[in-house]
Amino acid sequence: MPTLSALYRYPLKSAHGHSLMQAELGMAGLPDDRAWMVADERGRFVTGRELPQLVTITASAHEIGLRLSAPEHGEVYAPREAFVHGHPAHVWGTDFGAWHGADEADAWLSHLIGRPVRLLYTGATQRRAQHHPEVPVSFADGYPLLVIGSESLRQLSDWAGRDFEMARFRPNLVVDGAAAFAEDGWTRLRIGEAVVRITKPCGRCVFTTVDPETGAKSRDQEPIRTLARHRKQGGEVVFGMNAIVETPGRVAAGDAVIPLE
């Protein structure tokens, strides 16, 4: 039977993620997943697609705030209570409201990146998933969750003739014990106390070519080049499945993953 082998969250969009042994899965996904993002002065999202050095930042979310650190740049702390100013935000064609106010973190990020940027916080997000007005979404690309099977990654590595890290694809839920790309055919899954509904394949871009540890881009455009040969659907390169939470509940590494449909 398939099992949940790993849970990952990414408190700062495009920054280094970290694993969780268990978590309460809510309608917005994992707590504090993509709850913060780097934006320009107008609120437009800035990601590792254009600034790969963002992946070298380690972000740790705590009850009272966010701690950021990076090699040779030390660390900075952004308390939640600092985000008191409403600020426009823009992610993939969607405009919505967010929060701003952690000036020290703004300065730290601007120095690291080499241009003026701002750290925004979703708070109680106003954004909703496309075609699912009942589903809140943080600063994630479009949906609260991303599900990938470990055998799918193994098949991609076999096609390309090299091993790729799962971290390149930034999943939230990793499933072991299922056939490669079994997730393509899933509709609803029971995991622990939660029920997850698969919504659509996840389109992929040049961000997958960024080394998740160093921020260096691969010169041969892998793995997106191999994905384009094997995983193209409707003009889009896909890998992994976007999902929403149908029934909230606690999930943990080792839980059975039970397809319901």
Could you tell me if residue 255 is inside a domain? yes
- pLDDT(102) > 80: yes
| Position 135 in a domain | no
Is the domain of 146 the same as that of 105? no
Tens-digit pLDDT profile for residues 145-156: 999 999 999 999
Q: Above 80 in pLDDT, residue 31?
A: yes
Domain boundary, last residue among 129, 159, 188: 129
Residues 153 and 225 in one domain: yes
115 shares its domain with 15? no
User: Is the same domain home to 103 and 58?
Assistant: yes
Q: Are residues 154 and 221 in the same domain?
A: yes
Quote the number of domains for the chain: 2
Amino acid of residue 7: L
Whether the per-residue pLDDT at 126 is higher than 90: the answer is no
Distance (Å, whole) CA 38 – CA 21: 27
Instruction: Kindly report the CATH number assigned to the domain that includes residue 210.
Output: 2.40.33.20
Which ranges of the chain would DSSP assign to H, the alpha helix? 103-113, 150-160, 224-230
pLDDT bucket at 86, cuts 50 / 70 / 90 = very high
The pLDDT assigned to 261 comes to 73
Domain closes at, from 62, 97, 129: 129
**What is the C-alpha to C-alpha distance for residues 110 and 104, in angstroms, rounded to an integer?**
10
Same domain, 171 and 252: yes
Domain of residue 177 covers 3-29+140-259
Same domain, yes or no: 201 and 146:
yes
Residue 130 confidence (pLDDT) above 90: no
